[in-house]
Amino acid sequence: MKRAHRQKLQLCDALEKIADALPGVDRLHCLGTANAIVPLLRNIHQYEETIIFPAYEAALAGVNVNLASTRRLRAEHVEDECFAGEVTEILLAIGQSETVKNAEAVGFMLRGFFESVRRHIAFEREHVLPMIGIVDWS
C-alpha cells in the first residue's frame, strides 16, 4: 500500500508540474504521464478492492459500522478512472503538439483530478489503513 500511495502521489506531482507549466509544457513529459495514468490507477484500484477493502470491512464487522465508506471509495475508483481517461486524452493531445488553447481550463482539469486522488489517499491513510494494522508511513 505504501508503494501504491507513493506511485499515485508521484503521478499527482507530475500532473501538478504540468499544470504549473501550462501552456509551455514539456511534451514528452505529457506523453509519458498520459501513458501511465490509466494502467497505474487500474492496477492500484484492483489491489485495493480485492485486498485492502475486504480487510477493512472485516475489521469493521466486529464494530457494527456502516460500510458506506468502502462503497464510496469504490465509486471514487470508477470516477477517477473515467476522469483519468479524459486527462489522458488532453495530455496525449498536448504531447502530440496540439496547441493549448485554454491553459486555465486544462490546469483546472488537471488540478481537479490530482486533488481528488490526494484526498482519496488521505482518507485511506487516516481511516482505512490504521484499521487493518498499517500505520507506519515513514
Residue 97, SS3 per DSSP = coil
Per-residue pLDDT of 93-107, as tens digits, reads: 999 988 888 999 999
pTM of the model: 0.90
pLDDT given for residue 15 in this prediction? 97
Per-residue pLDDT of 61-77, as tens digits, reads: 766 666 788 899 999 99
Quick one: cell of 46? 484492483
* For residues 81-89, average pLDDT: 96
Contact between 124 and 5 (Cβ < 8 Å) = yes
Per-residue pLDDT of 125-138, as tens digits, reads: 998 899 888 776 54
By the 10 Å C-beta count (0-12 exposed, 13-18 middle, 19+ buried), 120 is classed as buried
